[in-house]
Amino acid sequence: MLKNNLRIGIFWEQFEWGGVDTHIKYLLESWINSDDRFTIYFNSENKGAIRLKNEMNAKDIIFKEHNSLFTSKGSFFSFLVNPIKYIISIFKYCKILKHEKLDVIICQNGGYPAAYGVLAAIAAAYKVKIPARILVIHHQARKPILFTSLFRGFVDKITSKVSSSIVCVSKATLESLKKSTFLLENENIHSVVIDNWVPTFKDKEKKNLFDKKDDEKLIGVLGRIEEYKGHRDLIYSFSKLPDKIKKTNKILIIGKGSDENTRELKTIIRKLNLENEVLLKGYVEDKIENIISSIDLLVMPTRSFEGFGYVIAEAMGIGTPVLASNVGAIKEFLSKEEGEIFEPGNINQLAECIIDFNNNNKKWIEKSKKAKIKIIEKFNPKKTVSEFRNHIYQKYLEGTK
């Protein structure tokens, strides 16, 4: 007799933190069937999983740590040995999963192929006959580098064969799979877009985590400090603002990055004489709703691609005005009715938007109210998590036939 209380494994390998952490956190918090049981398998270098484990404190969620053969320190040589690591990892993860008696495994992958350990795990799940094997892809798929194309083609075809389905969090991510991989060439593979889920944040008194003065406007950018995230574009655009606006605005860079990337930003800030206007706040230990509600404008100046853009969606759900670059999935949920969109890397256009935010602030506030309504309707967690749970249960039923 088929059961409705599923044993679900989440397999997750990464090294930093980011949107996948948020996806899993909101998934677990919004899950619709309290009888289901979760086990999270994560690599020892996974900072996001360690943070999530500390935040959740849930007795019914089991965290199991393992040592991955794939590490954060890549090199040219690592590309040559990745095929060997991939094969060994399949056998290693077979041993881990063989006695777990899972009904479903959800393998979380950032930008495909990203974590080869995760792709080895879904192959292992197939070998040990876990009924439903769901691969979730969050970011842009990359085309293989010339000398890795043979191995990538092999992994694509194996992954396509062993996966019950491939779930993308946006249409943009799905399109990147079509353009850059062989995953969807297997006519039997089921690919689907299921929107991410964004919690409904209750209206409450705004926090003032950053000691904002009455005449100040705080412009925040949240996330890891990486070159493609566009932090330096925001800094350069700020340097072009009229002095009158510079005096009443501050840029808060919230998040951490490598020492090298952080040093580069500090050098730019110093050269532009913006030490008092652009502040690196590092990682802020507080709830995301308190952080975002403490700023007046959330900017996401990403240069290349966003598989979803969780921080923009969260700001919209909180009611904080948003300004984002036109990359990846952003236009799937943000239009000029709810915020402002600029072309990535266009520093002058970004500066003009910040000027307009200052000169026509009431207009931006009205847009943020529309944004909140849209997020509640489009990304209602009960609706989207229910859709996701129904999808994996259907794959479970198919896998037990």
Whether residue 206 is contained in a domain is answered as: no
| DSSP β-bridge partners for residue 221 | 253
Indicate if 367 and 389 belong to the same structural domain. no
Indicate if 55 and 79 belong to the same structural domain. yes
In whole angstroms, give the CA distance from residue 357 to residue 297. 8
DSSP H stretches of helix in 210-298: 231-239, 243-248, 259-271, 288-293
On the CB side of 301, CA atoms within 13 Å amount to: 28
DSSP track, 152-214:
HHHHHHHHHHH-SEEEESSHHHHHHHHHH-SGGGSTT-EEEE-------PPP-PPP-TT---T
Indicate if 296 and 388 belong to the same structural domain. no
Indicate if 227 and 370 belong to the same structural domain. yes
Expressed as residue numbers, the domain containing 160 is: 7-197+380-399
Instruction: Enumerate residues 6+ apart whose C-beta is below 8 A from 285.
Output: none
SS3 category, 131: coil
Indicate if 370 and 386 belong to the same structural domain. no
| Count of beta carbons in the 10 Å neighbourhood of residue 344 | 22
SS3 category, 81: helix
CA 320 to chain centre: 20
Q: What pLDDT is recorded for position 389? A: 95
Letter for the amino acid at 353? C
Give how far Cα 339 sits from Cα of 194, 326, 375, Å.
Answer: 23, 12, 12
Encode the chain (401 residues) as per-residue pLDDT tens digits.
Answer: 457 899 999 999 988 777 788 899 889 988 989 899 999 999 998 888 888 888 776 567 999 999 998 876 555 566 678 899 999 999 999 999 999 999 999 999 988 888 899 999 999 999 999 999 999 999 999 888 777 788 999 999 999 999 999 999 999 999 999 999 999 988 888 899 998 888 878 776 677 899 888 889 999 999 989 999 999 999 999 999 999 999 999 999 999 888 999 999 999 999 999 999 999 999 998 989 999 999 999 999 999 999 998 999 999 999 999 999 999 999 999 999 999 999 999 999 999 999 999 999 999 999 999 999 999 888 888 889 999 999 999 999 999 98
Q: What pLDDT is recorded for position 208? A: 83
Q: What pLDDT is recorded for position 1? A: 47
Whether residue 138 is contained in a domain is answered as: yes
In whole angstroms, give the CA distance from residue 171 to residue 372. 22
Indicate if 155 and 17 belong to the same structural domain. yes
Nearest-CA neighbor of 72 among 113, 14, 117, 18? 14
Whether residue 68 is contained in a domain is answered as: yes
Q: Count of domains in the chain?
A: 2
Whether residue 1 is contained in a domain is answered as: no
Indicate if 47 and 191 belong to the same structural domain. yes
In whole angstroms, give the CA distance from residue 226 to residue 376. 30
Q: Is the peptide bond before 131 cis (omega within 30 degrees of 0)?
A: no
Indicate if 94 and 13 belong to the same structural domain. yes
Whether residue 209 is contained in a domain is answered as: no
Indicate if 166 and 238 belong to the same structural domain. no
Residue listed under structure tokens 């892809």:
137
Nearest-CA neighbor of 277 among 312, 302, 242, 306? 242
CA angle 69-71-73, nearest 5°?
145
Whether residue 202 is contained in a domain is answered as: no
Indicate if 267 and 343 belong to the same structural domain. yes
Domain at 253, CATH number: 3.40.50.2000
